[in-house]
């Protein structure tokens, strides 16, 4: 039999099934599995015992498990394409974001035409691109990621509706899938990365810093906890726009998430306990229509943006999101 005939025979005997997640299998192994989109069926040649077993496996999977399997399969299929861009952090738009304690001083340095509005538009765009996979045997994927978050005084016509602040954050990280279990929790993912964040302004509004970080994800059923400590790369004092940054944002973030019936709740906390300064963000998202989700966000404290890292804000926002904290995470 020639190699071409062997490949043709293997192709004809393929059985397509919805994959299950069993990290840390190699990316090449996962890519060989087929993904069946929701609402579509693909004819198979299963008969007898195999078909009965397949039907039993499908019927035993919960809707949440099937969604998790589909998310992982989509991520794997996308990452096998060198031109694919996938969501990274949450992507959202808040057409109404009300801050009861705006930073008037910094806004007056942006423009002197009018006062800062308490209501503005806030949005975040975030994506990642895989650069290399399986750097260490069958694990270790290298990514480039970019996140942009903006605060836009869209309704402030007296000040010509300027962008009050935009934070730009390119980063690179290596990701390791894991299945280490401890006290009922599973460490499913670990990342080690380098990030630069700045607001692209000149003095006196310039704010920037570089950091090395680790990101460890732990899951237990419908719960997930991300622990993200960071270390700031030292700068020369003459070049440091925000030397007291640690006094307000501390040495990392902790995010706790819970999901049930496609509703998702998350709480992120950062800060410096020794200084008594904290920042808290509460998020709630729910199905709305199609892939669009309703999104509610509340932020209180320090560190919401670079320009306001040392200014306590109290913001409530309503809008939309298109991906969640749990997107791409495996079912545990």
Q: Binding site, residues?
A: 160, 201, 206, 241
Tell me if residue 300 is catalytic: no
Q: Which residues are annotated as a binding site for Ca(2+)?
A: 160, 201, 206, 241
CA distance 161 to 309: 22
CA distance 294 to 92: 9
Is 198 annotated as catalytic?
Answer: yes
Q: Which two tokens stand for residue 260?
A: 């049930």
Backbone angles phi, psi at 54, to 5 degrees: -65, -45
Q: Which of 196, 263, 300, 312 is catalytic?
A: 196
Burial class for 170, CB neighbours closer than 10 Å (0-12, 13-18, 19+): middle
Closest by CA position to 278, among listed 314, 305, 296, 303:
303
CA distance 95 to 320: 9
* Active-site entry in 26, 150, 198, 312: 198
- With vertex at residue 164, the alpha carbon angle to CA 162 and CA 167, rounded to the nearest 5 degrees, is 125
Indicate the DSSP class of residue 157. G
- What does the alpha-carbon distance between residue 13 and residue 35 come to, in Å, rounded to a whole number? 17
User: Which H helix or E strand runs over 257?
Assistant: strand 252-260
Tokens standing for 62? 């919960």
CA count, 13 A, side-chain hemisphere, 24: 20
Helices (H), the chain: 3-12, 27-31, 48-60, 63-79, 104-110, 246-249
Active site residues: 196, 198
């Amino acid at each position: 039999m020639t190699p071409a005939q062997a490949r043709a025979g293997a192709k004809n005997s393929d059985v397509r099934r919805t994959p299950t997640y069993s990290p840390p299998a190699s990316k090449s192994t996962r890519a060989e599995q087929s993904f069946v989109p929701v609402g579509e069926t693909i004819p198979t040649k299963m008969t007898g015992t195999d078909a009965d077993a397949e039907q039993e496996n499908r019927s035993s999977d919960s809707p949440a498990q099937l969604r998790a399997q589909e998310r992982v399969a989509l991520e794997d299929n996308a990452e096998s394409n060198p031109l694919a861009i996938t969501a990274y952090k949450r992507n959202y738009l808040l057409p109404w974001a009300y801050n009861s304690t705006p930073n008037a001083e910094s806004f007056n340095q942006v423009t002197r035409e009018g006062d800062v509005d308490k209501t503005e538009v806030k949005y975040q765009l975030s994506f990642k691109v895989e650069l290399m996979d399986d750097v260490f045997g069958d694990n270790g994927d290298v990514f480039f990621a970019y996140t942009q978050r903006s605060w836009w005084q869209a309704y402030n016509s007296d000040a010509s509706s300027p962008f009050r602040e935009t934070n730009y954050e390119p980063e690179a990280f290596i990701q390791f899938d894991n299945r280490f279990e401890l006290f009922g929790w599973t460490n499913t993912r670990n990342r080690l990365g380098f990030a630069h964040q700045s607001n692209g302004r000149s003095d006196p509004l310039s704010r920037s810093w570089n950091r090395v970080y680790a990101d460890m994800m732990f899951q237990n059923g419908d719960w997930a906890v991300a622990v993200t400590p960071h270390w700031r790369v030292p700068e020369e004092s003459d070049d440091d726009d925000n030397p007291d940054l640690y006094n307000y944002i501390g040495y990392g973030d902790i995010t706790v998430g819970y999901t049930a019936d496609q509703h998702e709740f998350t709480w992120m906390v950062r800060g410096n306990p020794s200084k008594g300064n904290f920042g808290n963000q509460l998020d709630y998202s729910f199905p709305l229509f199609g892939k669009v989700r309703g999104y509610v966000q509340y932020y209180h404290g320090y560190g919401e943006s670079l320009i306001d890292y040392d200014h306590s804000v109290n913001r409530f926002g309503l809008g939309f999101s298109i991906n969640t904290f749990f997107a791409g995470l495996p079912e545990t």
